[in-house]
Structure 1
Amino acid sequence: MIVESEDILLVHCKNLIEEKLGWGNSEKWTNQDFEELSQRIFEATSITLSPTTLKRIWGKVKYESAPTITTLNTLAQFLGFEHWRGFRQNHFPKNDTSEPTIVNTIEAEPRTKQPYLFSFILPLLLVFGIASWYFISKEQHKSTQINASDFSFSSKKVVSVGVPNSVIFDYDASKAPDDSVFVQQDWDPSKRIKVGTNQHQHTSVYYYPGQFQAKLIVGKKVVKEHNLFIQTDGWLPFIEQSPIPVYFKQQEALNDGKLGLSLEKIQQQNINLKPVAPVVQYSNLKDFGDVKTNDFIFETSVKNTYREGASICQYTEISLLCEGAAIMIRLSAKGCISENSLFFIGKNISGKEHDLSGFGTDFKDFAKVRCESVNGQVKIFVDNKLAYEFPYEGPVSKIVGIKYRFHGSGLVDDIKLAKGDGKVMFEDTFAE
């Protein structure tokens, strides 16, 4: 019998994710931790794995079935691999590239040889387990010796608003037990840079606007972190790509009282629309005044204008950025609502597990979206119909940004952000 088991590989994958997050032993993770992980996976891959799915993978919820290949691919992508097959090849390069299988064949050799195989493998696994325990214990012991009060960490932006924007980090890590000191731009470990223990400054470039959580890390422990707000100068239209997006001027996206880049302007930058169209983003990050996530009304109208090739689902995302949190509503063509999702502070609602058909539209006309959080209840309307509602839960946060993402191209017709009592804090009709 030849057995290709994915169990060990999945355990290794989870260990790498835990190491990447730096949240400590997953046995102590709370529901909020899994909600945060779900959001981070979505931000990195644009695919939603619900907190419930993640709990099943980590053994918090009893579930007999193995993870689907879609789930495995998403976990691998979160770690920087193209898919699960690529993750497997990286760790077991001699294996073939077929999907995980269990193949039963007629034994050509006597069964008496099997005990020899196990007598070789089991001691090897035992040695591996002891070695792993030793190094993990050593790292945990090292982490307990680190006192966060021994370190300092602050930052200052080179320009007050706009991107690209360089940030100068001032830090003191002279009391680090070794040279494993890092400055991380945000939650993404790929933005983690090793810095000198005896140095005191590091600079990083931020190409995207946003509300970030910069971190100073010693070993595997976050010893200091603070909010870093990269604002925009009005509306910033750009096309997402790594590492540097393609920026446009605000005036290039304003036409006939609407905000949106035309296909012609996109193609002028030699950006292909097929087979996969780019993601076009419009962001406005600023101080909107004292408007909080537990007491606001947000209204807007959007239209996805591209429905070709792989963009048939016309995914459209509307986000409110908050201090340390976010609100995200995804719309799509009606046939694709299974891939929709709704994220509100710490609450992640997946179209895989909930009926989000109310977020499906044909985009023949502008879709009117209203999100209100008033008197402890959150309600979202699409074209004046209640699409979803739930009680407000979680911390209260200040709203500091509005963001639209269109898979392909799209238009925004109007925006109004008000307090729960109707007092308008921000309004834009895009009149030139």
Structure 2
Amino acid sequence: MKDQSEQAVNSSFFKNLDVCCQMIADMIGEKRIAEWTNSDYINLSRQLARKTKIRLSESTLKRIFGKFKTSERYYPQKATRDALAQFIGYKDWDDFENRDATIPELDRPKVSNREYVPDVRNKNRRIWLMSATFLGLAFILTLIVLKPLEKKDVKMDVVQLVCLNPNGITPHSAIFKLVAKQPLTDSFKNFSIDFADGRSKRKQFLNPLLTHYYQVPGRYYPKLRYRNKVIDTGYVYLQTKGWSITGANQFDTVRVYPIQSPVRESDEQAIAVSAVDAFRAGVDTLRTFFVTFSNIKPTRINGDNYELSFQLQTSANRTGVRCSQVDVNIYGQFDQHLFSIFKPECTVWTSYQFSENEKYGEENDLRPFGHDFTKGGILTLRVVEKKVSLLINNKEVYTTNYQKSIGYIMGLNITFAGIGSFRNVQLRDLKSNELF
């Protein structure tokens, strides 16, 4: 009886793990888990690190998702399961296990001592001929029966994502609506939204309306998906009056904390908050935390021809801060410029996005984005006709380019891991000389 009870408990554990793996697969692409290659696991490792700050190697992920065949089923430790749950929008693994959701059918192979795919090389020729005939008939029937469905998918471009209240301040409950030029013949459940705030999982439409809660100022570009394919992009624009400051703890996908600070920018004094300011606002300063400074307002500065420069100093080594991270985000009308600076020994975590051009330190040599600013320095980003130059202490360290315009600049975010400060922010249009 005891063995049966233990088996039932283990079955429940693995059932939840399988569901979590399938939800992750649904979030990051259309391929079945059984079809994943090594590059898919590398991509998932990168996305997990970027979103949760926890790095799981591709070999660990292969064990979790069943790519590696073992005699006994692998069950990851709690910290690993917490990271997987946080990736799909839950607070931790306990929160995921307590969810109220219908368990989907899984397409992943079961882990056992048997091979996942039967070896058909030893099948006789007769079976091969029968299989080929069957596949040929199935292909012909697919062309005949599913041809009308192709037309329906092509018409999905008439479905748009509209935010009924896109402009405001934080906090903000944005109401999204599916707008179609003709009656929808497909289920609403085939449509979902990526909210693009970095803190929330994708949500599925159950009816034409869906509401989302935004907590940090900025300009967001939520994407509408139809059967996992992006078909439209909207926007949500949450402005500030001058610099607004918010704090957040790592892995807390629910709460952010507005921070009140008497420090304002001047020629002599930097913009900064103290650990005491953050603690009083509710931030747990004994854990890894981040402080974001936001100045969000519309401008006539060309997002493809501008220069941003400022002096900064990142956090000294403290609890939860070894890499002294600073993220810079320049919002445009249509897209954004975003990059991260880490200490030289931590460049695996670096990344950048300049419109459609994205790269990550786990897959690329981004050593130029490694610099120690704990004793201060000058950071400059110059964009000339969509050609990007990054300068550190007035020395050019990296260049790249992009194709799609981001339009006019609509705001700026600077985020520090721990306590950081900056001053003398200069953001100007290189042609008109208009200042931010």
Same-fold status (TM-score > 0.5): yes
1:331 alignment partner in structure 2? 341
**2:383 is aligned with 1:370:** no
2:277 aligned counterpart, secondary structure? helix
List gaps (5 residues or longer) in structure 2. 1-16, 34-39, 63-76, 97-111, 120-130
1:426 is aligned to 2:432:
no
Alignment partners' CA distance in 1, 2:189 and 2:379: 47
Q: What is the CA distance between 1:172 and its match in structure 2?
A: 4.6
State the match for 1:262 in structure 2: 274
1:165 to 172, 179, 186: 172
Asked if 1:154 is matched to 2:147, the reply is no
Q: Per-residue deviation at 1:179?
A: 4.8
Equivalent position to 1:304, from 303, 306, 314: 314
Shift in Å at residue 319 of structure 1?
2.1
Tell me which of 277, 286, 294 is aligned to 1:283. 294
Q: CA shift at 1:18, angstroms? A: 5.0
Which letter maps to 1:424? Answer: N
Does the CA-based 8 Å contact 1:291-1:425 persist in structure 2? no
What corresponds to 1:381 in structure 2? 391
Superposition pairs for residues 72-221 of structure 1, below 5 Å? 78-79=87-88, 118=114, 122=118, 144=150, 145-146=152-153, 147-148=155-156, 151-157=159-165, 160-172=167-179, 175-180=184-189, 182=191, 184=193, 186-187=195-196, 190-196=201-207, 200-217=208-225, 220=228
Write out per-residue CA displacement over residues 334-379 of structure 1, whole angstroms, 9 at most, x where no aligned residue: 4434433343331315277425256312522x31011112256422
Task: Count residues with an aligned counterpart.
Answer: 350
Distance, in Å, in 2 between the alignment partners of 1:247 and 1:254 is 18
Question: What SS does the corresponding residue of 1:264 show, helix, strand or coil?
Answer: helix
Please say if residues 48 and 341 of structure 1, whose CA atoms lie closer than 8 Å, have aligned partners that are also in contact: no
Shift of 1:226: 2.1
Q: In the alignment, does 2:422 pair up with 1:412?
A: yes
1:362 to 1:236, Cα distance in 2 relative to 1, 3 A: closer
| Paired residues of 1:39 and 1:48 also in contact (CA < 8 A) | yes
**Once the 2 structures are TM-superposed, how far is the Cα of residue 411 of structure 1 from its aligned partner?**
0.7
Aligned-residue sequence identity (percent) comes to: 17
For residues 260 and 243 of structure 1, what CA distance do their matches in structure 2 show? Answer: 24
Whether the 8 Å CA contact 2:163–2:176 is kept in 1: the answer is: yes
Query: In the superposition, relative to structure 1, how do residues 292 and 119 fare at CA in structure 2: closer, same or farther (>3 Å)?
Result: closer
Residues 77 and 171 of structure 1, relative CA distance in 2, 3 Å threshold: closer
Q: Distance in 2 between matches of 1:236 and 1:39?
A: 30
Mapped to 1, the partners of 2:260 and 2:423 lie a distance apart of 18
In 2, Cα distance between equivalents of 1:322 and 1:42: 26
Give me the CA root mean square deviation: 4.9
Assess if the C-alpha contact under 8 Å between 1:341 and 1:348 holds in 2: yes
Aligned to 1:313: 323
Query: 2:242 corresponds to which residue?
Result: 234
Mapped to 2, the partners of 1:119 and 1:359 lie a distance apart of 44
Counterpart Cα distance in 1 of 2:189 and 2:296: 34
> Contact 2:382–2:389 at 8 Å: present in 1 too?
yes
CA distance in structure 2 between the partners assigned to 1:75 and 1:412 by the alignment: 34
1:392 partner letter? N
Where does structure 1 lack aligned partners over 5 or more consecutive residues?
A: 1-9, 27-32, 58-68, 88-113, 124-129, 428-432
Amino acid corresponding to residue 302 of structure 1 in structure 2 = L
The offset of 1:218, in angstroms, is 5.2
- Give the C-alpha shift of residue 210 in structure 1: 2.8
The TM-score, its normalising length taken from structure 1, stands at 0.63
Query: Is 2:294–2:412's contact at 8 Å kept on the other side of the alignment?
Result: yes
